[in-house]
Amino acid sequence: MSASALLLFSGGQDSTVCLAWALSRFDRVETVGFDYGQRHASELTARPRILQKIRATFPDWAARLDADHVLPLEVLKAIGGSALTDSITIEMGENGLPTSFVPGRNVMFLTTAAALGYRRGIADLVGGMCETDFSGYPDCRDETVQATARALSLALAQEVRVHTPLMRIDKAATWKLAEELGGTALVELIVDETVTCYEGDRTHRHDWGHGCGACPACELRAAGFEKYKSA
């Protein structure tokens, strides 16, 4: 495995756990976030807070945590039609997918990250995609992610590797992985600082963190935390 990785870092629970995973395995980790015109900026504003706390709380990781990047992808907002970019109710659509699905988002994230990695000399990408305990998005499936990695390897004429440490585990196991990687300090950081809520709610505080408590993302996070704590 190469010495450097580029982490797709949203400021959410999953990408923060993946950040800890990457920092435990690579000598140098850069992070990249995407401003795609999402309805709320809670995740984007959480990102620097989380990075600062990682550096302050985990000195060994701080030495490995390198540059952070935020790239604009407002074409996703221009395309629209998603509850994450427009004022649309989060519900199941006629196509069998939730209205929170942003078509092409993860493929675009991976493509843009791979291009950035190409310029930064990094061929290993890390993402929080998961097909075990998720909202049903087809671009979160391992088949989609690895097919994208193969296409990018061809397009860039060099191997692009995409690591998805959460792909086969549920949200309870994600909480447990956070504890294994960074102890209670990392679990508390995730509870206090990360944003998973589709509404970007930071006004309501629960045992599992901030959020509206009603959207699918909050329900998954809350159920996973309860299962994790009761294990």
Instruction: Provide the CA 94 distance to its chain's centre, in angstroms.
Output: 27
Q: Is residue 204 part of a domain?
A: no
Strand 161-163 and strand 124-126: pairing?
parallel
Q: Is residue 195 part of a domain?
A: no
Q: Is residue 179 part of a domain?
A: yes
Instruction: Please report, for residues 14, 121, 139, 176, 190, the alpha-carbon distance to residue 106 in angstroms, rounded to integers and kept in the order given.
Output: 14, 21, 6, 25, 22
pTM: 0.94
Q: Is residue 73 part of a domain?
A: yes
Number of neighbouring beta carbons within 10 Å of residue 206: 14
pLDDT digits (tens, 9 = 90+) for 161-198: 999 999 999 999 999 999 999 999 999 999 999 999 99
The number of distinct structural domains making up the chain is 1
- Directed axis angle between helix 42-57 and helix 171-193, to 10°? 90
Query: Any idea what the CATH number is for the domain that residue 30 is in?
Result: 3.40.50.620
Spatial neighbors of 148 by CB under 8 A, at least 6 apart, are 106, 107, 110, 111, 162
pLDDT digits (tens, 9 = 90+) for 90-114: 787 888 778 888 899 999 999 999 9
Spatial neighbors of 69 by CB under 8 A, at least 6 apart, are 30, 31, 32, 33, 116
For residues 126 and 116, what is the distance between their CA atoms, to the nearest angstrom? 13
